[in-house]
A and B are shown apart, each in its own frame.
Chain A
Amino acid sequence: MEPTIEKVSIIVSKGSLEGVYPGLIMANGARAEGIEANLFFTFFGLDAIHDKRIDRIKVGTVGNPGLHVPTWVGAIPGMSWMMTKYFARKMDGLDIPPVREFVEMISDTGAGLYACKASVDLFGFTKDDFVPQVKDIITVGEFYEIAAGGQIVFT
């Protein structure tokens, strides 16, 4: 019998578009394969579940060599907005949902969504700041309890 993965816990630590999507895609993909999945949002990754920020996740256009845009060009006002629009259009064409819809869908697949307590305290957030799909604000210790017996992926 081939080895299989039964459970993954994915940490989303970045708040840029390119920082948020990989974790969401991996969590959703895990559930689609019947793998148990949990998402743990920490530091700027909290923006992906923050009700007022979730629709404003942008591509990082400065200091992002993968974008192949000179840093000074990336710094022009409106650049990040424009690149984000560009990606949003491309992603829509590929049937990749916007972050809010994606988070709702992942929650519907049965994956658990959690916010990191240390980061929530650091930014002065409360549970009310987050989208309703967030199950709980948990400590790192509780995260490890939830992640026990599975793989942990940090993004």
Chain B
Amino acid sequence: MFLEYLVLAVALIFGVLAVLVKDNAVAALSLAFSAATVAAYYALAGLMAASFLVFVVYIGSVILMVIVTASMYGGFFDYPRRYKAAVAVLAVVAALLLWALIPQAPPQVSQELQPNFDLLALIAALLVSSLVVAIEVAKRV
């Protein structure tokens, strides 16, 4: 129960940061963290198909496009190279720490993921292709 409250609090904090922070790239990254913690909340509740959908489809296509857009027009490409390297190293270290600290239990995939997998894969392909088409159309106007 405490972990669920903690995850929801983190989602709330990053969601508020996404609106209040001035830098576009940082705001998009905060949004990605907020969405990821909501997906983690789904996983904690045992909703594996929903968690898969949010992690892979929503974050993998929608949020990625938001991050790319915010980076293009938010000045992240103008940041010094040291800053980008520091952010990348920090992200890798945080991921490795989480990997090491969280106890690795054998995965218990519920049965709801298997029958929906074709549908989820189809939706993922559809969304990613629609985003690519949108970018290409915008580039040619």
A joins B in a complex: no
Which residue numbers of A lie inside 8 Å of B, CB to CB? Answer: none
Which residue numbers of B lie inside 8 Å of A, CB to CB? Answer: none
